[in-house]
Amino acid sequence: MMKIAVAGTGYVGLVAGVCFAEKGYQVMCVDIDEKKVEMMRQGISPIYEEGLEELMQKNNARGTLHFTTDYVEAYRDADAIFIGVGTPEMPDGSANLSYIATVSRQIAETVEKDCLVVVKSTVPVGTNDKVEQFIRDFLVHDVKVEVASNPEFLAQGTAVHDTLHAARIIIGTQSREAEETLKRIYEPFGLPIVSVKRRSAEMIKYACNDFLALKISYMNDIANLCELVGADITDVARGMSYDERIGARFLNAGIGFGGSCFPKDTKALKFLAREHGYQLKTVEACVDVNSAQKTRLFEKARERMITFSGLKAAVLGLTFKSGTDDLREAPSIDNLKLLLAAGASVYAFDPKGQERAKELFPQGKHPGGGTMNYVSSATEALEGAHICFVFTEWPQIREVAPGTFKEKMHTPLVYDGRNLYQPAQMKAAGVEYYSIGR
């Protein structure tokens, strides 16, 4: 059975490694953090992702999944090395490739047999060409190394399912041998494989993510117009969803997209286009709409309130979406900064994101006079609150009955960024209710 090494144990690398182990491969996952590696050896996942920890424990026990900080041990006799390290956003919107470069150098200096290096990280078009040349420049042993592109399309919250039951596997190669090796690796998955050239595979990743981001920003733009003309965005979306050319997904209006992919990838493609003397006007508009959308409800609330100073503000939901503990680019972050700076006493609830939130917003007093507090339930956050913001569509939040806002809050004033409640029901319950596009 083929030996697979995986560089990086974030969302991309860890999920890929666990799923390869589930298919019976001998997998060695590499990370520089000894504490994190020890935790994973014990079957504890560093990220919350449904089904991930169970598969980690299962494959740890049967000996197909291993974790190490020793990249030499992992890479030297691997048949394939998958790179799943981060490519964070630089201040100018470009992708930071320093982690890719570090792993590439390590691979070049340690591989002792022919192997295929597969880049799963999202990288600008042409990066794989550079990675291949970089590895060959620094090779220590007389071996053949080829580089392939294999972008991931997992969604946080459903990452394991998305990997094991993907709509398609995209592979980008420059030789028949590399193509056949990757096809052989994915054969046990039994999924459709789309085989293209490397640069096309790199572009497919950006084109898909940016198209979905465009769809979200378009619906938010239409929602904002619906408010002005008296239409209801939920009715509009329902009518649109029956059109097969449009599809039913990504039509929900709200307070914008967050996470580790859409914000970063839209900016990266915008930067790439500019670098080549081209302006992607649609993507640039998408970025602008999303940036303004995140704080749209706060601006509405500021018009309604004299001050936030000394008021208790309930915040329901912190993560950028339900099903994950990830706060990267979450709309809640922008709003919490504004609320705390305005002197509000924030009481926040999120079933999975509170520990990560504490790293950004420690409990206690903040500059501007606001205080940050974390509570164990939505109803506890609402107790005596003067205003409530809904930022994430968790089931535990969706299940709060309209009457509960009236019963628990000092002033039943709710700003819902996920359109979880029916305006008529909230009004009937005596709640002053504001949502998006309705």
State yes or no: pLDDT of 200 exceeds 90: yes
Query: What average pLDDT does the segment 108-127 reach?
Result: 96
State yes or no: pLDDT of 90 exceeds 90: no
368 close to 340: Cβ distance less than 8 angstroms: yes
Radius of gyration of the chain (CA): 24
CA distance 181 to 183: 5
Confidence category of residue 93, pLDDT binned at 50, 70, 90: confident
Give the mean pLDDT of the chain: 96
Is 19 catalytic? The answer is no
State yes or no: pLDDT of 92 exceeds 90: no
Candidates 19, 29, 226, 261; catalytic one = 261
CA distance 238 to 335: 29
Confidence category of residue 94, pLDDT binned at 50, 70, 90: confident
pLDDT for the residue 1: 80
Would you list the DSSP string of 216-229?
A: HHHHHHHHHHHHHH
Query: What average pLDDT does the segment 3-28 reach?
Result: 96
**Closest Cα partner for 49 from 76, 82, 11, 77?**
11
Token pair belonging to 170: 């995209």
CA distance 159 to 116: 24
Q: Report the predicted TM-score, pTM, of the whole model to 2 decimal places.
A: 0.91
330 alpha carbon, distance to own chain's centre: 9
Q: Quick one: DSSP state of residue 190?
A: T
CA distance 319 to 334: 12
Tell me the β-bridge partners of 371: 345, 365
State yes or no: pLDDT of 388 exceeds 90: yes
Domains of the chain, CATH where assigned: 3-196 (3.40.50.720), 204-292 (1.10.1040.10), 294-434 (3.40.50.720)
Q: Quick one: DSSP state of residue 189?
A: G
